[in-house]
Chain A
Amino acid sequence: MLEVYYQYLKMDLLEYQAKELFREQGIPTLPSQRIDQPSDVKDLCIPYPVVLKSQVRAGGRGKAGGIKFVANTIDAIAAASSIFSLAIMGEFPQVLLAEAQYDTEQEIYLAVALDYQLGLPVLLGSAQGGVNIEKVVEQMQQVIIDQQFSSFYARRLAIKMGLTGHLIISVSQLVEKMYRLFIAKDLELVEINPLAVSSTGELMALDGKITVNDQAIARHKNLRELAASNLQVSDWRLGLGRWKILNLEGNVAVISNDNGLGLATLDSLYQARTKPISYLTLPNNHLSTHLQEIVETLPLDLDQVTQLKGLEVILINIVGSRELVHTIQQAVIRYLQSRGESTTTVTAVDRTERPTASRSVRDRIRSKPLTANRCPRFVLRLVSPEEVTVSEDLAALPVVWIADLPSAIAAAATFTKGKK
């Protein structure tokens, strides 16, 4: 089941992971060492002074205190302890990176990204790299890879960036390595910022960012392992799995089987002066296994959304085959029956056997006692061109069955207003 959730998570690799991939590709990085706990710094193989860096995905870690320079072991242990206990944008580091310091003459920005608007990869470069985003942006140059890649694209970028002499060669060769990495690993983004240029013209990737493409990750085993090790409970709790949050003040959640249909349903709710809280589009593909996937994941989806405080109504708007409509009807009935009508607590007991990995994450989420809210009302609008059998089990459950969309919207609106 964890498989399903992979595709909804951000897949930024951490700096030390990105640098491992850089090294494989021959992109120069500093000697560094991974620190799993403060006492690890006693066994540092890098000579002092060193930099200790918090390994979190959030930006702005320098300003937040996640990067410290240390000159000896005593300082290093203290600094490591403080970085480990510092959350940046709600994320605690599981790992620190200890790295040698570097004498920098110039800092450059380089990136290879997939541009979805163009449907093509682009090379980005700024002769001014570093943390001052405005300065970086001011001098940004772009080269579109509109044909098969060749080295001249990288040289074109170097020239546009205003580089001269030997730097044209060395930087464009580095860009080419970044591009090869981008293609080899099916990435969304490879970024080096800053790329340091030393007084002797030597290049060094001081910080790096790699974003993995979620649709391609299945064919890159090592990327899957790296990304999975970064999973944090916060991803699940804050992100509410696959739900998209619209407005926490709202009180209707929408489930549909298609992006366009879901958005049309939300528009209609707004027109009826009802506030949607969140929405979910069920995975939509042509394989028969996808019905099984819905059966497995819908209970978790519903568990997640019913934790939202203001939720009053769940509107399920499905237009599709008879099998789909039947599957969803049965899944909702089973969910409500298993939950029980006079729900006061949600038990932490697993409902079905699951792979160990997903259980552990789910148990971690549930280790906090859930304050179970009153069960929301369900408005089911399940439409198929063939005859749909409405189950008798629905009568005993907090569910209304409505066939046409305007009436379903009106029902959802009435339920929310009636409760105020």
Chain B
Amino acid sequence: MRRLGLILICSAAFAQGPLDPADAAWKSVAPVTLALYRTPPLYSTDTAAPLEIPSVQLQVLRSAGSTFVRLEWADKSRDSTTLPKAERAWQSERLVTQSEATGRFSDACAVMMPTKPVTGDVNPSLQMGDAGHPVRIYFWDSSRGAALMEATGRETTKRTGQTFPAQSQYAAGKWAVAMQLPDLPQGTPLALAVWNGSQQDRDGRKYFTIWHQPR
């Protein structure tokens, strides 16, 4: 039964092509290596987190009216949980209990881009855009999946309620995540972020790149 399920998933992935991060199509796309930086600690009592993940590789592939992006980065630990479905159900026969931990965080990544085409060479603020330069964030979490977010500056990020196609693979100490985005105009700048669950990353505690314009 499990075997059959695997076959079905694989065939679906092949049908979607580049959405599978292991798909052969990615072999022909040269990756760009982008340096990752740590955000500063939030509290003076927190020590600065070490730079465990120095870089992320980005590949961009245009296919069938979509822009596919593939992010790959080295991460020694796979911090991901399969969470049972919670339904806020007070009436259920048996409660879904808390699975394991209160203090664990998941690996995640995101691709941020300006919502409106950039005029001139002024990109939105790296801190989630700003009032005049709203941004869209395609966020993927290894435990909770993909979510589309919007922001107009720090502390304004909100979920749109929409999701988007994304697939991931963790093998040999590396995450590879492929996302299917809308067809992006040529020259759209992208900024990437990576969260390392084992470093208690979440929110603004993360790795980030500066803006990059894929060719």
Asked if chains A and B come from one complex, the reply is no
Q: Residues on A close to B: CB < 8 A?
A: none
